[in-house]
Amino acid sequence: MIRHVQVMKTLDTNTPQDLRTHRIPKTAVFIGDLNNTTCSGAQRLWALEQCGIAVDRIDTSHYSANIGQYGRYWARLTRRFHLFYDQERLEQGILQACSKNCPDLIWFEWPRSFEPAFLRQVRTLCPNARLISFQDDNPFGTRHSDSWQWELYMRCVPEFDLHLVKRVSDVNQLGALGARACRIWLHGIYRPLFTPPVGNIEKIYPVSFVGTCFDNRAELLEILIGKHGLPIHVFGTHWQRRSNLPRRFPHLFHLEVTGTDYVQVIHQSMICIGLVSSSHNDEWSLRTFEIPGCATMFLAQRTQVHEAMFREGTEAIFFSDMQECASAIRPLLSEPALAMSIGKAGYARCVADNRFLEARMRELLLTL
């Protein structure tokens, strides 16, 4: 029977005794996109290291194949995601790292380019290691145009000792595919980036949203900006290609921001909108931790996870539809002190509940 827990409890980060009395992994090989610290994979690697794990990293972005537009079309047509990588060189790098380190953990982020035979080769090389698959996308969601990317992943499901996933429905689907064990992973605040600003900071953006244009986001912003005239500054990709909003409101649409530039946008915003992916059936996103982690007011879609994490009205503001979102923004624009106090209260709640990424990782290690 497949095992899972629905929400990982938070541990106190100041409890080294737990680490001395529980046998946790000491070494790991981590395979994932580590291109920048805004990538959640790089944050999880950091959290492993904060828990005292010696990590050998394989940055998959260094193994990308320059296949061009035709190559991308061919990869999609033939459902061969591994064509995006120099796969043979990537696999040799993983095998060399495993052979050199004999790790306790071998952690794969979004393992969509590997054949089951390769994972069995890894297991033969490191028979005592735990193979972990992490992915918080939804291979079983309604984003059918991306389904081809998961072809190999589906075949590899039984090869992993543990799947870390985002939603209970993933657990059920993976169990049907032969998963040995699954757990629900809840992210946390990545403290090297997401912290409250030091001293007073000018609030340049009355409202901001950082994110890609997909699902019904263009429709939402059309209502908020076009119909209600709200000053929402948007940062992200694909808005020019999938929407006419940047042409109509060029002063409100900006280039994508990452790393410290992204943090600066949060700091300089009075209100930050946090959306979840409807096509992934999400209940939370990284914004759930990044925005409160910066002590900025979190205006979020109403979900069970958000309602469990924050007291509505005092630690965050929630909305269920476009009209409720617009109705929440307008009075706050005339009460910036209230918005700022809600942001600070949201951060205080995160501190009180220890919602930091290294705490999440420590709990996982203590329960392996």
Tell me what pLDDT residue 22 has.
55
Q: Specify the pTM.
A: 0.89
Q: What is the DSSP letter of 13?
A: T
Which residues are CB-contacts of 159 (< 8 A; sequence separation ≥ 6)?
116, 119, 120, 123, 131
Tell me what pLDDT residue 126 has.
95
Could you tell me if 220 and 211 are in contact, meaning their C-beta atoms sit under 8 angstroms apart? no
| 3-state SS, residue 98 | helix
Number of alpha carbons in the 13 Å side-chain half-sphere of residue 272: 30
Q: How many residues does the chain have?
A: 368
| Cross-strand pairs, 162 | 132
Q: Which of 45, 26, 49, 27 is CA-nearest to residue 101?
A: 27
Q: Where in the chain is the domain with CATH 3.40.50.2000?
A: 205-352
Q: Could you tell me the strand order of the sheet in which 130-134 lies?
A: 54-59, 27-32, 105-109, 130-134, 162-165, 182-184
Q: What is the DSSP letter of 103?
A: -
| Cross-strand pairs, 31 | 58, 108
CATH of domain 205-352: 3.40.50.2000
Q: What is the mean pLDDT of each run of 10 residues along the chain (368 residues)?
A: 38 42 82 87 96 96 82 74 83 95 95 95 96 91 72 94 94 94 96 94 96 93 96 96 96 96 97 92 95 98 97 97 94 95 98 97 93
Q: Spelled out in words, what is the top-level CATH class assigned to the domain 16-185?
A: alpha beta
